[in-house]
Every structure is written in structure tokens, then in C-alpha cells.
Amino acid sequence: MKRSYLILTVFISVIFLIFSCQHEIQFPAGGGKTDSAVTPAAPPPPLPPPPVTGSSCSVDTVYFASTILPMLNSNCAMSGCHNGLSSGDAGETTLNTYAGIRAIVSPGNPGSSKLVDVITNGSMPPSGHTPISSSQLAAIETWISQGASNNACSAGTCDTTNVTYSVTISTILQNNCTGCHSGSAPSGAGIDLTSYANVLTQVNSGKLWGDVSHSAGYNAMPLGGTILSACDLNMISSWIHKGAPNN
Ligand code: HEC
């Protein structure tokens, strides 16, 4: 008897919670939220700088977590391609996980790695998609030469004092987003994120911050990938707080 009262009380509380939440958060058909109390059209103030720590990153090493994975997710794992959800050959090769990427490389030997081969022979990405640049290819080759491990490093102190669009922001977008968000017909909702004007439009709608911060009611970006590092998010947040200048 007591037990059923408990269950009933919990059930009623849950129903009550669900209904009380509905008054706070509204999702209009257009996507973004309108309730000014909850709309992060502007990001929260930048997080306080993390404690000063030394970087564990070596300038001579290419890291899987910060360079290879975001690059291949953005350039190869868009919808219909190597995202593990597609069919046919594209579905068999999954390029948004370490295991999937590891399956087409030969550690220590870029020359006999299928990943390098399809890029250098021009078959991937297929025409119409943004090609892998020579510096991106060089990073892939170095990573494979260094053993193609699932390595990561910690960037140490995150300095947000001199964030610029031309260097900081465009580099973050290029490393994580522009595979899907560039070219004449970007697979990412037709949105090109290689020009300042286009990026500003997404900042002003609140979607850039809502999406990268994985806020409720927004589309989590990078699609299918991991959330940007705390430092990258902090850089974007401080830049938006300074008025998203074209500096
Ligand atoms: C693997 C492909 C892919 C990557 C990588 C990617 N996007 Fe997207 N993006 C999409 C798709 C597809 C949409 C359309 C919405 C959807 O289907 O979720 C989209 C939509 C958007 C939108 C449109 C607004 C909205 O929410 O509807 C913004 C802004 C955006 N992405 C920003 C980014 C940013 C910033 C990054 C990098 C941090 C990024 N995207 C990385 C595929 C991608």
C-alpha cells in the first residue's frame, strides 16, 4: 500500500515538472527560442580563464583528437557520406570514429594508407565537395607517420585576450565546420561559414552560439562530432561578447 502511494506521488511530481517546464521554454516553428529569459542569442560571459597550466601539446606532433577527427568529421562524415548511417561503400567506411579511420590507415606508412591514396588520387572527396587542402593532407600524413594513434593533448592556458575573426575564429571554423559548411552547395543546410558576413548572420540569430554550445532547442554542431573544446568555446564566446568584430 505504502509503496503504491510512493509511486503515485513520484508520478504526479513528474507530470507536474513536465508541465511547469513547458511554460518556461518555447520552441517556435522557426527554430530559435523567443523567450528572452532563456534565449542564449548572446552567449554567456566567457568562462573565467582556467588555471595556468603548461601545455602538453608538442608542436611536432599531430593529434588525432584535435586535428584529424574534426577534420575528417567535417570533410567526410556529412550526411549521405561516411557518418556510419549511410548505405553502400560510404556507410562501410565510417570517418567520425577512431576505429573507422584506423581501419583505412597503415600506421607509420602514409604511402600505403587508403586514406591518403583516395585523397591524392582525387577520388575523395567527390567533386562538388570542398577538397582536402595540402596542409590538411600533410597533417594526415604526419599523423600516420607518427603511428596513427588515438592521441590527444591539453592546450594548457586558454588566452582569450587577442581573439580575432581572421585568425582565431576562422581557424576554429575551418578545423571543425567548413567541410560541411563551404562550397557552392554546402551540405550543412546550405550555410557557408567561410565568409565573415555569413558567420555574422549566424551569430546574430543566436544560432552559432546555440549550436556550438549544444544548447537545448538548437542543432548540436559539429554535426555527428564531439563538442568543441572548452578553449574553442571560450574563444568564440569572448569574440561574440566583443561584438563579433571583423578583426
Ligand atoms: C558533418 C557535417 C557538419 C559539420 C561538421 C557541421 N555542420 Fe553545421 N549543419 C550541418 C547540417 C546538416 C545542418 C542542418 C541542420 C541539421 O540537419 O541538423 C547544419 C546547420 C548548421 C547551422 C544552421 C542553423 C541551425 O541550427 O539550423 C549552423 C549555424 C551550423 N550548422 C553551424 C556549424 C558550426 C559552427 C560547425 C562547426 C563547429 C558546424 N556547423 C559543423 C552539418 C554540419
Banded pLDDT at 85 (limits 50, 70, 90): confident
Confidence bin at 18 (pLDDT 50/70/90): very low
> What's the CA gap between 101 and 150, in Å, rounded?
10
Ligand 1 and 231: CB distance under 6 A: no
Phi-psi region of 219 (alpha: psi -120 to 50; beta: other; left: phi over 0): beta
* 31 CB near ligand 1 (under 6 Å): yes
The finding on whether 66 has its CB within 6 A of some atom of ligand 1 is no
**Cα dihedral sign for 175, 179, 180, 186?**
positive
Per-residue pLDDT, 80: 85
What's the pLDDT score for residue 191?
95
**Tens-place pLDDT, residues 142-179:** 999 999 999 999 877 888 888 999 999 999 999 999 98
pLDDT for res 78: 85
CA of 147 relative to ligand 1 center, distance in Å? 31
User: What is the rounded distance in angstroms from the CA atom of residue 71 to the CA atom of residue 119?
Assistant: 13
Q: How far is the CA of 180 from the centre of ligand 1 (A)?
A: 7
Lowest pLDDT segment from 64-73, 98-107, 119-128, 180-189: 180-189
Provide mean pLDDT across the span 35-58: 61
**Alpha-carbon distances of 152 from 46, 64, 65, 212, rounded to whole Å:** 24, 6, 5, 21
Q: Is the CB of 191 under 6 A from ligand 1?
A: yes
How many C-beta atoms lie closer than 10 Å to residue 155's C-beta? 17
CA-CA-CA-CA torsion sign (235, 62, 73, 170) = positive
- φ and ψ at residue 228, rounded to 5 degrees: -60, 160
- Rounded CA separation 178/3 (Å): 55
> What average pLDDT score do residues 202-229 get?
93
Cell numbers that stand for 194 in this block? 567561410
Per-residue confidence (pLDDT) for residue 41, from 0 to 100? 54
Check residue 70 and give its pLDDT.
Answer: 93
**What would the grid cell of residue 204 be?**
546574430
pLDDT band at 49 (very low <50, low <70, confident <90, very high): low
Output the pLDDT for position 38: 46
Query: Residue 6, Cβ neighbours under 10 Å: how many?
Result: 10
Residue 34 has pLDDT above 70, yes or no: no
